[in-house]
Structure 1
Amino acid sequence: MLNWTREEKYTKLSDVSKEDYDHLVEKVKNSKWRQTYHIQPKTGLLNDPNGLIYHDGKYHIFHQWFPLGAVHGIKYWYHYTSEDLLRFDDLGIALGPDTPYDSHGVYSGSAFDYDGKLHLMYTGNVRDSNWTRTSNQLIAVQQEDGSFEKSDAPIIIGSPAGYTEHFRDPKVWKENDTYYAIFGIQRDNETGTAIIYESKNIKDWNLKGELKTNLNQFGYMWECPDLFKLNEKDVFVFSTQGIAEQESKFQNIYQSGYIIGQLDLDELTMNHDDFKELDQGFDFYAPQTFLDKNGNRLLIGWMGLPETEYATDNEGWAHCLTIPRELTIEDGKLKQRPLKALEQLRTNKETAEGYANKHSVKLHPYEGKQFELIIDILENDASEIYFDVRVSKKCATHIIYNTETKQLTLDRYESGIISELNQKQTRETILEEELKQLRIFSDTSSLEIFVNDGECVFSSRIFPDENAVNFKTSTESGQVYLKFTKYSITTGIEEL
């Protein structure tokens, strides 16, 4: 990763010459790792998805953006719209750090409707001459020309008593005639939690209180909180920092997960089950949910992590968003399934089925890096099954299933450049049911692996060589009968 000075990180796009920025744009366009059906930054660094909403006949997707390089510098909001979440219109910058209340970064937030107009609530980051932070909460309203006009002053200035300056990421919702906003925040004792404000008119906000859960000493900061109802349950999604690894749990630097239970909004108490991670892969953080036009709850995450190096860093860009996922609660468990509309991107269907065993490795010479591969396990008496994805002579990403323990492992030790950047190259989980299906979405430099029709997901960036397009299966002992259905995927997002 390149070393950036503080001054360089806080250089605004407007302070860079057109010639220099155009040169960066061309450099990024020439990257061999550019995705084809995932939202990615035009240049620089993408992180949290923001402001996800279906409003007035269109989906709006914003993301955090530092335009000048693959570092966390001064942040903007970048804006897309879509009618179907498959093809997107690039509307460019929606919010920039251009007022005294967000001078050092337009941080994360959410979107909501008020009086028929699209509103954004976000955190403005301000630093003084001693580099002390102040977090302000602001609102911006979309105008008839599509631009956003910011409020003259913050609706909330600074942090409430008892909490540090780490106060951010409002998620707004409405119940009855009241608007609520939940924020991630850090207590003065440096533990993470969430607080809720309420308002009748979205201008005057009052602190309702701290959300009471049984996670009182659970990391030093909670980010990107999201509270919603789903299948008659209350779900609280948030991203926590400072949790120690526990066997196959919490293996990334920071975690994103959820609790399910019942919320008493008057008392701000939530009776809930255990915290569970949303994604078992290497690269997933800061998800946000929203309702589609039919009232289904969708989730999009950042396919990346803070403080982590990636192969594209020296090319002037990093990260992408995940594909949209539909959420349901079934038998008390949260399931994630790929947005059904993604099936419209399928082309060139290929099918095959047959046995694989220890002595007969089946190689499938599939062409292309952009595909959806569905693997159904129809019979299995193997002790361990190996699925190798994006295979070449030098590279392969391994998926390993142990029949006895039901442990599923993603191993990217041989996935390419990424193997040089992280010490531990495996992610594991124990399945509740036997492995019956893998549904794999491959883009140029990523994999999203949906297990057992949404039981769990592994999202990861990979950076293999140009020839890594094949797939093969084998077993440790015994044999397995498999059915393969593979689709090529046409691009859903034009190169910016």
Structure 2
Amino acid sequence: MNKDKQLRQEVAEEIEKHRNLVKQDPYRLHYHLMPPVGLLNDPNGFIQMNGKYHLYYQWMPFKTGHGAKFWGHYSSKDLVNWKHEEIALTPSEWFEKNGCYSGSAIEHEDHFFVFYTGNVKNEQGERETYQCLAVSKDGIHYEKKGPVVTLPEGFTAHFRDPKVWKQNELFFMVVGAQTKDLKGTVVLLKSNDLFNWDYVGILAGGGKGKLGDFGYMFECPDLFKLNGKDILIFSPQGLEPKGMNYQNVYQAGYVVGQFNPKTGEYDHHLFEELDRGFDFYAPQTTVDNQGRRLLFAWMSVPDQNEQEHPTIEYKWIHNMTLPRELKLIDGKIHQTPVKELENLRDSEMISYSVKLNKESKELDGISGKTIELMLDRIEVVEGWMEISISDAGRIIYSSDQKIFTFERKSYVDGTTEKRQCMLEELKSLRIFIDTSSIEIFINNGRETFTSRFFPNPANQHISFSASKEVSFTVDKWNLGNI
């Protein structure tokens, strides 16, 4: 039996071994993408082709820690109902023996061309890195072509996560990298045929330009056009907290600019975080046949107390965000849940028009652990309003301070921890709760807060409070399973 077949068989045995235990976890999600067993992280190869969406993902099926990653695979025709496909890539060849790391997919000549990082470590722990290619007709069965990009001069072996696109009859690739003097950067390459690649130069970072000295590593870059501008999304590592910004171990965000494909130059503005919550990293986008720019992200952050995570005892960990549509409005990215997610709603909508005056109130039927809430026409003239979710989460807006806050009970030590952003006015909220995850979309997605949290499974209460006078409308739906 060859190495690829052996690994696939071992994964199948691991899934079957822990299938019942995974299902017993009260914190298993109902309408988010998760691994069948083991650890999930970065979204990879997100693409729509022949009317079907494909989302691959970093997968360690044998444990809830990191290691030699596989590419798991989900597919869907509607972004709501997903099928878990067979493994796309196994770390079975010499150039990927320590992991088929993150990458992207592009359609070319009616085939899937997948680019990914082959991770190799020698006995001394020294890393080698290769940008590799695999090709498929159906998106399920891949033929590996091996390395197509080796490490250029001037960079450490932390050189990974290729994202490829076509522009002006050329193919371009951005790669997350680290310079020899330990500066985070995005590297640009180009090709005529997807097999032979030429190094163009540093696109952003590297201790130069408007980013300056901006962390020691950039991961998961993604360059695309949105509303006439060129957006570069990436995940910098090594930023120090600054006020309400950069509060997680690592960040995910973007810069807005103009890319010149002839010269490889990219003139851009300053960095802005994509999400203000506890758990959002390694986002990847694609454009679909409706012309929408869609995004998935990993609902976690690397090196963030994974050993304390409540789902580990059930042999799985982590999940994806909901799919989101991106729009650029007044120079800022807005994120909204894709419209197809409305198909998760059951037929019964519960609605209220609410006025609070120095009081706390629960509303009959506004509760649950797999729900969507829509608050609109919010008026907090002075003081604050609060939404308490079970015993583990609180949403607070202070109209006096102009601060929006999400608090959760830490799953490590039970203390209260918070993430915040400045918000001039709170107009609307759209909230998705899925047992142990919450995604909050503020003012039609101008700000988002994405987090895992772990309420008492028996406590599904939601209450609304105000320090003075507050009014709003609220609609609630129960959401079904994927």
Asked whether the two chains share a fold, i.e. TM above 0.5, the reply is yes
Q: 2:396 aligns with which of 390, 394, 400?
A: 400
Name the amino acid aligned to 1:429. Answer: C
Q: Secondary structure at the match of 1:155?
A: strand
Contact 1:69-1:313 at 8 Å conserved across structures: no
The corresponding residue for 1:491 is: 481
Matched-pair identity in %: 40
The corresponding residue for 1:386 is: 386
The corresponding residue for 2:283 is: 287
Q: 1:94 aligns with which of 80, 88, 92?
A: 88
Task: Using the TM superposition, name which of 105-114 and 214-223 deviates more.
Answer: 214-223
Q: 1:215 aligns with which of 197, 205, 211?
A: 211
Q: 1:481 aligns with which of 464, 471, 475?
A: 471
Q: 1:263 aligns with which of 259, 266, 290?
A: 259
CA distance in 1, matches of 2:441, 2:286: 20
Identify if the C-alpha distance between structure 1 residues 35 and 360 changes in structure 2 by more than 3 Å, giving closer, same or farther.
closer
| Deviation sequence 1:360-408 (CA, Å, 0-9, x none) | 434555343111101124433341111112x2xxx14111111022100
Q: 1:185 aligns with which of 177, 180, 200?
A: 177
Q: Is 1:112 the counterpart of 2:106 in the alignment?
A: yes
Q: 1:155 aligns with which of 124, 141, 148?
A: 148
Following superposition, the deviation at residue 424 of structure 1 comes to: 6.7
Q: Is 1:437 the counterpart of 2:431 in the alignment?
A: no
CA distance in 2, matches of 1:13, 1:327: 37
Q: Secondary structure at the match of 1:101?
A: helix
| Deviation sequence 1:252-276 (CA, Å, 0-9, x none) | 0000000011122333332222211
CA distance in 2, matches of 1:139, 1:386: 50
Name the amino acid aligned to 2:96. Answer: D
Contact 1:365-1:470 at 8 Å conserved across structures: no
Contact 2:407-2:416 at 8 Å conserved across structures: no
Name the amino acid aligned to 1:304. Answer: S
The corresponding residue for 2:330 is: 331
Following superposition, the deviation at residue 359 of structure 1 comes to: 3.3
Query: Aligned-residue CA RMSD in angstroms?
Result: 1.8
Q: Secondary structure at the match of 2:340?
A: helix
CA distance in 2, matches of 1:161, 1:169: 18
CA distance in 2, matches of 1:146, 1:242: 36
CA distance in 2, matches of 1:424, 1:264: 47
Name the amino acid aligned to 2:442. Answer: V
The corresponding residue for 2:370 is: 370
Contact 2:11-2:61 at 8 Å conserved across structures: no
* TM-score under structure 1 length normalisation: 0.91
Q: Is 1:196 the counterpart of 2:188 in the alignment?
A: yes
Task: Using the TM superposition, name which of 141-150 and 226-235 deviates more.
Answer: 141-150
CA distance in 2, matches of 1:39, 1:321: 5
Q: Secondary structure at the match of 1:123?
A: strand
Following superposition, the deviation at residue 146 of structure 1 comes to: 3.5
The corresponding residue for 1:8 is: none
Name the amino acid aligned to 2:26. Answer: K
The corresponding residue for 1:302 is: 298
Contact 1:450-1:457 at 8 Å conserved across structures: yes
Identify if the C-alpha distance between structure 1 residues 360 and 307 changes in structure 2 by more than 3 Å, giving closer, same or farther.
closer
Contact 1:13-1:67 at 8 Å conserved across structures: no
Identify if the C-alpha distance between structure 1 residues 38 and 360 changes in structure 2 by more than 3 Å, giving closer, same or farther.
closer
The corresponding residue for 1:350 is: 350
The corresponding residue for 2:3 is: none
Unmatched 5+ stretches in structure 2:
1-5
Identify if the C-alpha distance between structure 1 residues 465 and 235 changes in structure 2 by more than 3 Å, giving closer, same or farther.
same
Unmatched 5+ stretches in structure 1:
1-11
Following superposition, the deviation at residue 28 of structure 1 comes to: 1.3
CA distance in 1, matches of 2:181, 2:392: 45
The corresponding residue for 1:3 is: none
CA distance in 1, matches of 2:12, 2:100: 22
Q: Secondary structure at the match of 1:254?
A: coil
Q: 1:232 aligns with which of 207, 228, 234?
A: 228
CA distance in 2, matches of 1:64, 1:421: 28
Contact 2:27-2:454 at 8 Å conserved across structures: yes
| Deviation sequence 1:302-360 (CA, Å, 0-9, x none) | 00111122211232111100011111111221111110111111112100112112234
Following superposition, the deviation at residue 423 of structure 1 comes to: 6.8
CA distance in 1, matches of 2:354, 2:122: 66
| Deviation sequence 1:224-268 (CA, Å, 0-9, x none) | 000000000010000010000011000000000000111223333
Q: 1:452 aligns with which of 439, 443, 457?
A: 443
